[in-house]
Structure 1
Amino acid sequence: MNLPIEFEKKMKAFLGNEWDDFLYSYDNNRFQALRFNTLKVQSQEERMRILKTLKISSEKKVSWANEAYYFDENVRPGKHPYHEMGLYYIQEPSAMSAAALLAPKPGMRVLDLCAAPGGKSTQLATYLGDSGLLVSNEINTQRSRILSQNIERMGIKNAIVTNEDSFVLASHFPGFFNAIQVDAPCSGEGMFRKLPEAIEQWSMENVAICAARQKEILDNAAVMLKPGGTIVYSTCTFSREENEDVIECFLERHPDFTLEEMERFWPHKVDGEGHFVAKLVRRGSVDTDLKADRKTKKNKNSKNRKNETKPALTKENMKLLSEFLDETISEDMAAWIKNSRLVMFGEQLYRLPDMEVDIKGLKVQRAGLHIGEFKKQRFEPSHSLALALKLNDAKNVVKLTWDDPQTTGFFNGQSVMLSDEQAAECKKGWALVCVDGYPAGWGKVNGAQVKNHYPKGLRNKI
């Protein structure tokens, strides 16, 4: 691998007699791992069954992350139906260390400040469960859409995805969060093996630019953290200027913080591409009260940034929603949806997280759980809702197995044909299509045929 000359000089000076080991690590194959989504796959027995199906060894665990396993390059878990249903997330192993270090508790308000594509956010959500609040932010609009798709795939109910600058969020959420993840944009030295273009884009000038940006982002994160709260800062670069120096500068500027833990994951020492993590704790007592007082500042540009929301449903829309829920969804889940804060974005219906949060004036990609869309005299459920449900949450279910040829057809947009026995069990109308007991999407039953409602943009991936 042709590494930048300035990078080699810097790393030789930094690593000393470890330089050769570090350099030789580039000759190894990349490490890959999947992390189970415990919001969906909750039993150890089921995780072992899925690993066996995927032909992945249960012995190759990622030691620093819960329920994460290495897999060989000849295994393709990203092409399996289980991946499309959000049963696991494929992630670079050492990158799993940051969320594991933050490890928020259920009921907390958590911010992932630089969240795309979603690896750390989806990992943080497994710590929160269905309680608390997760705000996942990404400044890049296109990447924020990818982030939102991954939040959807993993069936996360209590997340809001925003598309903002960290300064805007800091002016909106002062002293609001219990825990903040800052996986800062960096020079990407740990991405050289994965992305050859990262080598071409590297320069000492870019390192300096990244370090300045990282300091600004951390300062904004500090504004949003409650007393007793925690920030975990991480990068996928080896640069001291972007790691230890940034933390040292932050502590000088914020004497109310202490450095509790700091660690480097070097590619010649661990089975991963490399990562830097630091845990910063603000002095004071942690407040996880769901009804804690909240004060927010109005964004100066809010007049130009308002979401077109309607706070309540019309009688007609509530009637259409109730009809769908009564026919299709279990009583408990229907109540969970109806007895909540529902909001309209145009004709799209969202269920806001149970923990109150003010999103007025922010650019929002996803305002909690997308329930569905009102069309001409009907309600059409969203793919997000399907993936957030469990098998028992639906009254009408079409059951498939992963190795059934119709399963691949379903993910590619084809209708499902029911056997006589299945057709007798399924009522006409909306049905939750499940594979091995896990929701995959919606279908509409009409006799022995189930019309496919799997999103067109997600088809042909397996």
Structure 2
Amino acid sequence: MDPIVSTEAIDFPAQFLELMRQALPNDDDFAAFLAISQRPLRRAIRVNTLKISVTDFLALTTDYPWQLTPVPWCEEGYWVQLNDEQIPLGSYAEHLSGLFYIQEPSSMLPVQALFAAEETPLCLMDMASAPGSKTTQIAAKMANQGLIVANEYAASRVKVLHANISRCGVVNTALTHFDARVFGAALPEQFDAILLDAPCSGEGVIRKDPQAFTHWSLESTEEIAQTQRELLVSAFHALKPGGRLIYSTCTLNTIENQQVIASLSTAFPDAIEVESLASLFPGAEHVVTPEGYLHVFPQRFDSEGFFVASLRKTRGVDPLPHPGFKVGKLPFQPVLAKTQQTVIEQAASIGIQWESSLSLWQRDKELWLFPKPVESLMGKVKFSRLGFRLAEIHNKGYRWHHEAITALATPMATTVELTAEQAAEWYRGRDIYPDTPLPKGECLVSYQQQVLGLVKIINQRIKNSLPRELVRNGPLFN
């Protein structure tokens, strides 16, 4: 979906204005903050390099009714000015096939900070990951290698997280559904890097959601900050010595930002090093704090407000008591080598291939692909979803899962390339009747060289196999 763009006037609580006045002592700067808070937020996208390069994306969309302005801190990010408002951004073919993600540029900053030192973490945690903007951005930075443990506390948001991961072709994740305060005790010093984009009061998102202040109070802000402190301690314990921890929020007050980090530094004075983000991108010097954090007010870059801090764990610390919960027996078994070879050959015959960083597992008649680094974490915590389903075993072979097709399959000689009109019919869940001859049996269909699914051909008819939950109504890209 496109971000909600607000045109409602915002009535700020008096105590919030007092906090902002302290943070912005310059009269002109404070007035600029108040003025921009009443203006609609610019829309933006991030090109998903797991599926297409930035160069190829720009060439593909060169004639589109939009103007793209580069985001200075993310080479895959662009502000979008639509010249034709009839088709929402979320209804473009490139969005539906995962070529871009609708994401506010400020929220791209934490992942940019996470990889600022050009390190290559193999085992990473996104502690509060829904709806998936940062998880998918991390996966692109990791080129789908290694492991991302993507945690989401709210059960209602786990499904959205999985849908976005699937659409973007991410294959190196394991999803968990926990209060993230458990990880420091359950998985001590397991991760090379951790992103804690903490739940917050949301003061920075007021330009798209004026309801962010409906329940705002100084008391609730203090309560949220206490939760953030506990989450940050958990993240710090789960981080390996030498690892990097990024703490971020989409709020503006120092109570949930600088003061939260100060509490961690007080608790572990000899184990934390703050890494300055002053040179993260040209212009960062305008939003860097004396400590080296980024504190982005919306008037600085005409964006949402955001806060980002980079912390290095310099040594190990005493572990927390183990939470003592029982994980239960994993209902999966590794697939036997002989069976693996058969599966690999059958998959390759329809264009599906995967790298050695994924391993094949089986649950009953289901075949799954897991990121190999997750194997060391099995039995330590319960996963709500490990990797992704590849296929189901049937008497006549394998029924390949749609998620695996769109993530792993590449166009073949027999692939039917759809026109824009036919692709729109595909996303509407309708069968397609091409005028050109079709291959017999099963084949892949694609659009813009992106595989959309595996279909059956019946009497010159392409039988639509798009899962019902992905069917779109309303205006589409054609």
TM-score bracket, normalised by the shorter chain, equals 0.7 to 0.9
Measure, in 2, the Cα distance between the counterparts of 1:226 and 1:351.
26
Change beyond 3 A, Cα 1:376–1:209: farther
Q: CA deviation at 1:188?
A: 0.6
Residue number in structure 2 paired with 1:121: 135
Q: CA deviation at 1:236?
A: 0.3
2:74 to 52, 65, 80: 65
- Answer whether contact 2:177 2:383 (CA < 8 A) is retained: yes
Change beyond 3 A, Cα 1:194–1:347: farther
Residue number in structure 1 paired with 2:350: 328
**More helix by percentage:** 1
Measure, in 2, the Cα distance between the counterparts of 1:38 and 1:343.
27
Measure, in 2, the Cα distance between the counterparts of 1:26 and 1:381.
48
Measure, in 2, the Cα distance between the counterparts of 1:9 and 1:284.
39
Residue number in structure 2 paired with 1:250: 264
Residue number in structure 1 paired with 2:422: 406
- Answer whether contact 1:84 1:440 (CA < 8 A) is retained: no
Cα deviation per residue 1:199-243 (whole Å; 9 max; x = unaligned)? 112111210111001111110111111121101100000111000
Are positions 1:301 and 2:315 aligned together? no
The alignment of Structure 1 onto Structure 2 pairs a total of residues equal to 438
Moved over 6 A (4+): 295-298, 314-320
Instruction: Look up the equivalent residue of 1:92 and give its one-letter code.
Output: E
What does residue range 234-383 of structure 1 map to in structure 2 within 5 Å? Answer: 234-255=248-269, 256-261=271-276, 262-283=293-314, 300-302=324-326, 305-306=327-328, 309-313=331-335, 321=343, 324-325=346-347, 327-329=349-351, 333=353, 336=355, 341-345=359-363, 347-355=365-373, 356-360=375-379, 362-374=381-393, 379-383=398-402
Measure, in 2, the Cα distance between the counterparts of 1:107 and 1:445.
44
- Answer whether contact 1:164 1:363 (CA < 8 A) is retained: no
Measure, in 2, the Cα distance between the counterparts of 1:265 and 1:340.
38
Residue number in structure 2 paired with 1:428: 441
> Is there any run of 5+ residues in structure 2 with no aligned partner, and where?
1-9, 277-292
1:12 to 21, 36, 39: 21
Residue number in structure 2 paired with 1:29: 40
1:206 to 220, 223, 231: 220
Are positions 1:195 and 2:209 aligned together? yes
What does residue range 100-119 of structure 1 map to in structure 2 within 5 Å? Answer: 100-103=112-115, 105-106=119-120, 108-119=122-133
Cα deviation per residue 1:48-102 (whole Å; 9 max; x = unaligned)? 12332443334x1111112111012537321111111110110111111111110
Measure, in 2, the Cα distance between the counterparts of 1:318 and 1:108.
25
Q: CA deviation at 1:343?
A: 2.5
2:111 to 95, 99, 116: 99
Computed over aligned residues only, the root mean square deviation of the Cα atoms, in angstroms, reads: 2.8
What does residue range 100-249 of structure 1 map to in structure 2 within 5 Å? Answer: 100-103=112-115, 105-106=119-120, 108-249=122-263
- Answer whether contact 2:171 2:388 (CA < 8 A) is retained: yes
Secondary structure of the structure 1 residue equivalent to 2:372: coil
Q: CA deviation at 1:169?
A: 2.5
Secondary structure of the structure 1 residue equivalent to 2:311: strand
Instruction: Look up the equivalent residue of 2:251 and give its one-letter code.
Output: T
> Is there any run of 5+ residues in structure 1 with no aligned partner, and where?
286-294
Measure, in 2, the Cα distance between the counterparts of 1:409 and 1:86.
18
Measure, in 2, the Cα distance between the counterparts of 1:38 and 1:14.
37
Q: CA deviation at 1:340?
A: 5.2
Instruction: Look up the equivalent residue of 2:152 and give its one-letter code.
Output: E
Measure, in 2, the Cα distance between the counterparts of 1:176 and 1:36.
30
Q: CA deviation at 1:29?
A: 1.7
Instruction: Look up the equivalent residue of 1:11 and give its one-letter code.
Output: M
